[in-house]
Structures are given as structure tokens and as C-alpha cells.
Amino acid sequence: MSDSIVQIRNLCYSIGSKKILDNINADFEPGQIHGIVGPNGAGKSTLMRTICRIWQANSGTVHIAGRDQRQISRRELSQLVTLVPQESRIDFSIRVFDFVSMGRHPHLHRLQWLQNHDIEIIDQALRVTDTDHFRDRYINQLSGGESQLVSIARALVTEAPIILLDEPTSALDIQHKLQIMELLGLLKKQGKTILMNIHDLDLARRHCDTLTMLRQGQLYYQGCAEQAFSSEHIREVFNVEIEESTTAHGTSLLFYAQ
């Protein structure tokens, strides 16, 4: 077994006769931010859901910290891996504190109330995500960016070492995008392993340690983020051309149709 905290071997997932994931082999090292990119329908969200066993793969294996995830109980798996879904807006009334506290459920016995230790963990997560100031507000009153930060806070209180995020910056304004990426960098420094589906390739290049590229359900590339953005890779995966633009603030990526 390698040193990877998440190891995927020959993973396949199909719906009927349609292959969504086709023989995926990938490794994700601990303590890094791993970006997963690809066009719509490439299998990115499905990969997330098979890693945390929301969906059961048809074949292949996923090992979490050296253990076959099929041999890990649901309760223990929830303590190892947590998923922040793409759609974080909540349409029912629940206080932010109560919503975040739901992340402690894998650590509580049946009918057990939150203990002082749990409340300390919740308070810390609210502070880290800068959401403590609306802890008593109802979550359905928050903006999309605020809701996303609260969902990350709930993931943090699970204390899971692996955080999966499905498009955490989608449909957010630039301020909240940068705030979330800064937060993920902080979590990386704290030793968390982050796997993130992301459409914004410029953000991915700036903030991810590795990139995994999917195309039509197959693994196209996995490795250094900088090397991922060759003209050939971008053309093959996204069917567009790429150009770098350098300014006083750094290098940005420009994409245009072939």
C-alpha cells in the first residue's frame, strides 16, 4: 500500500449501460489540495460520491488511509471523510449553529446531547470560517457564499482528515471565491487533505498542489498543477486553446475557442 491517504484502483461506475467512471486509477497524498477538473459530464461529482460511498462503485476499490472503504462502517467513514456538496443553499429554517452542529453526529451516541467538548469544536469551526457572527441567524437567510462557508464549517466539526468539496466556488462572487480558497489553504496548513472539483481553472492552477483531469469518465492526467495546463492537455480535455497573460500581479490564463 502506498503512502496515499486516498487510493483508487480500477474504479468503475455505471448507470444502466452508460459508463460514468471507466477504470479510474488515482492517488491523493495527505496534506495537500487536490483539484479535480474536467468538462461537464466528465464524472467529477460521481468520483466524489464513490470516494465517500454515497454511491457504490460497480467494481474497483477505494482505500482510505490504507483501508478498503467497503470494510469501514458508515459511522467511522463519516469520521474519516466528509463531503461539502455543490448546492449548499438550504431552503428550510434552521439556525446556523444547529446546522453546523449536525457535523458532530458521527461522534455522538444515539440520543446523546452535545457535550462541552463538542460545542468548543463547533465554536472553533465558526471562527475559522468567519461565520461566528451569524451563528444565530437562519441559514436560509444567508447568501450563497455565506451558506458555502457554513457548509465548510459543518464539514470541519466532523474532524475528518479528508474534506471533499464539489464545486465550492461555483456561482459565487469573486470575494467569496477568494475567501474560500484562502480558507482551504489554511486547512491544508492544519494537515487536512482536500479533494476539490473546480471549474475555475485559473483558481485551480493558483491554489492546487495537484490536478486530476477527467475526460469522458476516464483519467486523462494526474500530477503537478503547473504541468497540467499545457496547450495539448487543455485542447484535448476542454476543446479550447490556452494562453498565458502576465501582469504585475502574476500570470493569468486566457481560454478561447479553437
Mean pLDDT of 17-32: 96
Mean pLDDT of 184-188: 95
In the chain, the percentage of residues whose pLDDT exceeds 90 is: 71
Mean pLDDT of 93-101: 94
Residue 12 lies in a domain: yes
How does DSSP classify residue 138? B
- The CA–CA distances, whole Å, from 196 to 159, 211, 248 equal 18, 10, 28
Residue 1 lies in a domain: no
CATH code of 216's domain: 3.40.50.300
Residue 217 lies in a domain: yes
Q: How do residues 127-178 score in pLDDT, each as one tens digit? A: 999 999 999 999 999 988 899 999 999 999 999 999 999 999 887 888 889 9
- Full domain range(s) for residue 208: 6-257
Residue 87 has pLDDT above 70, yes or no: no
Give CA–CA dist 138/126, Å, rounded: 14
- The CA–CA distances, whole Å, from 124 to 36, 90, 153 equal 28, 22, 9
Give CA–CA dist 246/257, Å, rounded: 20
- Overall domain count for the chain: 1
List of E strands, 29-182 = 33-37, 59-64, 67-68, 81-84, 162-166
Provide the 3-class DSSP secondary structure of residue 90.
Answer: coil
